[in-house]
Chain A
Amino acid sequence: MAFIRVIPTLLLHKGGLVKSVKFKDYKYVGDPINAVKIFNEKEVDEIALIDIDATRNGTAPNIDTIATIAGEAFMPMSYGGGITTVQQIKDILYNGIEKVIINKAVHTHPSIIAEAANLFGNQSIVASIDVKKNILGSYKVYTDNGKKNTGLHPVAFAQQLAQLGAGEILLNNIDKDGTFSGYDVQLIQQVASAVNIPVIAAGGAATLKDFSLAKKHGASALAAGSMFVFQMPHKAVLISYPTKNELKQIADGA
């Protein structure tokens, strides 16, 4: 049986892990090494590690920190945050990380995806797209932690990224982030049906039903942050992950 990948997203902020709501209001949720160890025990499919300070502060990826965290991860791990050069990508991939997540650099260094994909293979490049709906109800791609509107439409942008050599699209709806209101399945369907590379749904997951729904709308993998670090209704910090049987049910389309 082939499972659908379910991916906890961990946000690094000032050395700790945080979780946001709509890319704001960060709440501390714990130590990264400790979280990765717990996720090892829970046999998670994959982990996405994102340094949310690096691009904002204009700092390069911290290879030592990345290698230390990756050294504890016995599942595939992707890293995003502050990547602007192919050399950085190489350093990250040689230090225990399987995939890099590129966001801002696509706009500032347009050749980076094609160059990196040629050297390291498409499968090692994840292009992430952060999306917001404007007041007219049309989707726009944002950068800079949701602050800057690029004016691009996510479908056309995703097609461009796929053409450049991205191996996967990490598709995040900013307005859904941390809200426990379910994925934006309309967005997922539009993008997933327009590209033939895997689309990872992100933003809003609260229940296993949300996973099944996103899968039905074309998601190849399911990312979630809050759902795996908070326990509702009071958002107490508690790391959790679906059981193998629950994951099987999602794979079976239940």
Chain B
Amino acid sequence: MLTIIDYGAGNLLSIKNMFKKIGVQAAISNNINDIEQAEKLILPGVGHFDYGMKNLHQSGLINILHQKVLENKTPILGICLGVQLLTESSQEGTAKGLGWIKGTTIAFDKTKLSAEQKIPHMGWSEIKYQPSSKLFTDMYSEPRFYFVHSYHLQLQHQQQCLATTMYGYEFAVGVEHENIVGVQFHPEKSHKYGMKLLENFVKYY
């Protein structure tokens, strides 16, 4: 079963709805046994980095997640705050991230944004992606995705960069390292582009 991790941070039903649309049964759960049994995991999330980490700790799921992802190599897809939590830390707060991805989450460099480029970066942007990644198999041309974020990834290993976009400047909006993938944008709210991406995650990971 594909399991969407419910740790009290985000719009989980949208993700489940999108999977339903592509014919994939997904469960929303905060139950340790469900997570342990899961074949694939989705780490969603909206909100503050520290709030997200605090909720993950309070949910009691941290140990099982470490075991699933690092030892069992269960595929996991982080979305929005979910991808940021994969990094070691964030300028948004003081909490330690999951640290599965080397790198940090940093604030937009406002000196590189024009006056009309407000924060959060909210709306649709085209992305450039790593064509070798299975996550973008048969992706439609000129893929665009819906973003809402004030912080972005700063990866330590460029070869793990899955995708980039431009908002004032170019930055990483996706990461892939073995069984761990994550995207800054919201595939569950990005029409056929997001459907294709989620379908690929189910099929190829």
Q: Which residues of A contact B (CB under 8 A)?
A: 1-5, 40, 43, 45-46, 67, 70-71, 74-76, 93-98, 120-124, 167-168, 196-198, 218, 220-221, 244
B123, A221: Cβ atoms closer than 8 Å: yes
Closest residue on chain A to residue B118 by CB atoms: A198
Could you mark each residue 117-130 of chain B with 1 if its beta carbon is under 8 Å from any beta carbon of chain A, else 0? 11011111110000
- Shortest 9 CB-CB contacts between residues of A and residues of B: A96-B13, A5-B123, A3-B124, A2-B125, A76-B189, A43-B191, A121-B47, A123-B148, A96-B14
Indicate if B21 sits at the interface (CB-CB under 8 A): yes
In the complex, what distance in Å separates the CA atom of A196 from the CA atom of B150?
14
Indicate if B46 sits at the interface (CB-CB under 8 A): yes
Indicate if B116 sits at the interface (CB-CB under 8 A): yes
Say whether chain B's binding surface is mostly helix, strand, loop, or mixed: mixed
Q: Which residues of B contact A (CB under 8 A)?
A: 11-14, 17-18, 21, 46-48, 116-118, 120-126, 142, 144, 146, 148, 150, 165-167, 186, 188-192, 194-195
**A70-B17, A71-B13 known; 20 other A-B pairs, CB under 8 Å?**
A2-B117, A2-B124, A5-B123, A45-B146, A70-B13, A70-B14, A74-B191, A75-B189, A76-B146, A94-B11, A94-B13, A120-B46, A121-B48, A123-B150, A124-B46, A167-B120, A168-B122, A196-B118, A220-B122, A221-B123
A74, B166: Cβ atoms closer than 8 Å: no
A40, B191: Cβ atoms closer than 8 Å: yes
A198, B122: Cβ atoms closer than 8 Å: yes
Q: What residues on A are CB-neighbors of B166 within 8 Å? A: 1-2
Q: What residues on A are CB-neighbors of B144 within 8 Å? A: 3
Q: What residues on B are CB-neighbors of A197 within 8 Å? A: 118
A74, B189: Cβ atoms closer than 8 Å: yes
In the complex, what distance in Å separates the CA atom of A46 from the CA atom of B148?
12
Minimum Cβ distance to chain A for residue B110 (Å): 10
Q: What residues on B are CB-neighbors of A94 within 8 Å? A: 11-13
A120, B47: Cβ atoms closer than 8 Å: yes
In the complex, what distance in Å separates the CA atom of A75 from the CA atom of B120?
18
Minimum Cβ distance to chain B for residue A212 (Å): 13
Q: Can you list 15 A-B contacts (CB < 8 A)?
A: A1-B125, A2-B124, A3-B123, A3-B125, A43-B192, A45-B123, A71-B17, A74-B190, A76-B146, A76-B148, A76-B186, A98-B148, A120-B47, A124-B46, A244-B142
Minimum Cβ distance to chain A for residue B162 (Å): 19
Q: What residues on B are CB-neighbors of A40 within 8 Å? A: 191
